[in-house]
Amino acid sequence: KAGVTQTPRYLIKTRGQQVTLSCSPISGHRSVSWYQQTPGQGLQFLFEYFSETQRNKGNFPGRFSGRQFSNSRSEMNVSTLELGDSALYLCASSSAPGAKTGELFFGEGSRLTVL
């Protein structure tokens, strides 16, 4: 079956703009998590959604937000972009909420460059 699909794969924005990234989970998966990957900070958890509800949130400013739709697809938005937001944004899905017992399936990521 199809894996986790993230769009767009690459994008370039300028400071102050906003961006929306999309994630389509594996069919049947209801949990979606987002992570930011940078060379300096590594992989950091942004938030997790299950059945359209945010279940957990990482330590990021309010400029980072997300949502999940009834078909489990998810979007994340970053407003007022800063240079430090340049990163690979990874989406992961699982069949159950939480990562404790289940396996996370990751997409290939959306690489955001802020100029």
Partner 1 sequence: GDSVTQMEGPVTLSEEAFLTINCTYTATGYPSLFWYVQYPGEGLQLLLKATKADDKGSNKGFEATYRKETTSFHLEKGSVQVSDSAVYFCALSGSGTSYGKLTFGQGTILTVHP
Structure tokens at 83: 């240079």
Sign of CA dihedral 82, 23, 52, 103: negative
Query: Total binding residues for partner 1 by CB under 8 A?
Result: 25
For 69, the 3-state DSSP assignment is: coil
CA distance 35 to 44: 5
Among 45, 73, 75, 111, contact with partner 1 (rule: CB under 8 A): 45
Quick note: the x/- pattern for partner 1 over 50-79, rule CB under 8 A, is: -----xx-x---------------------
Please give the residue ranges that form the binding site for partner 1 (CB under 8 A): 4, 33, 35, 42-45, 48, 55-56, 58, 90, 92, 97-101, 103-109
